[in-house]
Amino acid sequence: MPAPAKFCFVIHPLSLDDVARYEPGAKGKGAPIVRKIMEWMPPWGVAHVTGVRAPDGRETEGWFVSAPLLPEQMMEFPREQVYDRILKAIQIGVDLGAQIAGLGAFTGVVGDAGITINERSPIPVTTGNSLTIAAGIQSLFRGAHEMGIDPSVSTAVVVGATGSIGSACARLIAPRVKHLILVARNETRLRKFTEEIAPELPCDVSYSVEISPAVRQAQLILTATSSTADVIQPEDLQTGAVVCELSLPHDVSRRVAIERPDVLVIEGGNMLMPGDPHLERMRQPGEEFDLNLPPRTALACMSETMVLALEGRCEPFTLGRGIDLAKVVEMEQMADRCGFKLAGMRAFDAAIGEDELDARRAAAAARRSLDSAALRSG
């Protein structure tokens, strides 16, 4: 097996709160000022990652480097300007010793999903989407088990079904459910995708460009959009439904946390890193960098980059819109060999413990009883 390599991973703030976490000097400054500063702010090294160690003793180190643009800036700015910002961030990683780079959040979405960035990068690039998909599927069906849902008689919805992550998830969900509804904004592309995959899927398949009507039919929902706004609202969810989010920023309205105690929302793309990982701020040595995740937890896209480094696989493993399902399986196997495991359940920036699961199951049962009583009396 090749010797472990070193990695870098490109991050960017998903919100103004993230800007202050990445760069404490931004705290307290007004939103218009922060946005304006970010238009010209150059990339910088954010954190040095050490202690990521596989069960057999292999160890890697790497760096998080920031391409400081907000999601809406990533999507609105001229593409070449965004590419330039990302490539300069990768170059910082290369100068530090990185041999493979990963793209986080919108840096892996913009343009052609990493293909051009990889062509121009001095080191191979991966979007991390293979492990994100594997983790998302595991998370969705773990949630179904916890809420007592039998997938084989259920309807599932994939929101963002024509994207690189959503399209692969649709193919992996289909063999385990009765009916699959594909949702995306572009009707022409969605119809063509549905016509392409429907003959090869073992369940009933339909499609819709309307999110709310589709979600209202489903017990299982997976979201993988590039939206910067909430797309899942509390009034659209069935009693006891499970929603697995693979999108950052989040697709589910925070109103759901308050108004729907009977449903289970989970962040599907979180993994536990092996070993004794440390994330040290590069500008404030000795200070831990806050990923806004529990200890030892990383996003699956980050984890894919670390897995490739541990395996010595310095190659563009996952790129573009069409993802090879065989690669998803291979990455899942590599991650398991390297000691990466699915993280505990979490939603709205908080852990979901057994007590909360019990409460959600009880709330779902109570709501079903009320619905049944209303039907009988009506």
% pLDDT > 70, the chain: 96
Q: SS3 of 244, please?
A: strand
- Distance between CA atoms of residues 368 and 262, nearest Å: 10
Q: In the prediction, which pLDDT does 247 show?
A: 76
- pLDDT above 80: residue 167: yes
- pLDDT above 70: residue 328: yes
Q: In the prediction, which pLDDT does 310 show?
A: 98
Tell me the sheet residues that pair with 222.
158, 244
> Distances from the Cα of 81 to the Cαs of 39, 42, 67, 157, 294, in angstroms?
10, 12, 11, 35, 34
Q: In the prediction, which pLDDT does 344 show?
A: 93
1-5, 101-105, 156-160, 368-372, range with greatest mean pLDDT: 156-160
- pLDDT above 90: residue 75: no
Q: SS3 of 55, please?
A: coil
The residues spanned by each domain of the chain are 7-130+271-342, 137-269+346-377
Q: At what angle do helices 164-173 and 129-146 cross, to 10 degrees?
A: 40
Q: Which residues of 143-170 are buried (b: 16+ CB within 10 A; e: fewer)?
A: bbebbebebeebbbbbbbbbbbbbbbbb
- pLDDT above 70: residue 228: no
* DSSP category for residue 176: G
Q: In the prediction, which pLDDT does 221 show?
A: 97
* DSSP category for residue 252: B
Q: In the prediction, which pLDDT does 225 show?
A: 86
pLDDT band at 231 (very low <50, low <70, confident <90, very high): confident
- pLDDT above 80: residue 250: no
* Token couple for 94: 């290369």
- pLDDT above 80: residue 282: yes
pLDDT band at 378 (very low <50, low <70, confident <90, very high): low
Mean pLDDT to the nearest integer, 187-193: 96
Q: In the prediction, which pLDDT does 350 show?
A: 87
Q: In the prediction, which pLDDT does 28 show?
A: 66
Which fold is adopted by the domain 137-269+346-377?
A: Rossmann fold (3.40.50)
Q: In the prediction, which pLDDT does 349 show?
A: 80
Q: In the prediction, which pLDDT does 136 show?
A: 96
Q: Which residue has the tokens 């001095």?
A: 122
* Token couple for 264: 């289970």
**Tens of pLDDT along 101-136?**
999 888 888 888 899 999 999 999 999 999 999 999
Q: In the prediction, which pLDDT does 70 show?
A: 85
Side-chain half-sphere exposure of 336, counting CA atoms within 13 A: 9
Mean pLDDT to the nearest integer, 19-40: 74
- pLDDT above 70: residue 251: yes
Mean pLDDT to the nearest integer, 265-283: 95
* DSSP category for residue 232: B
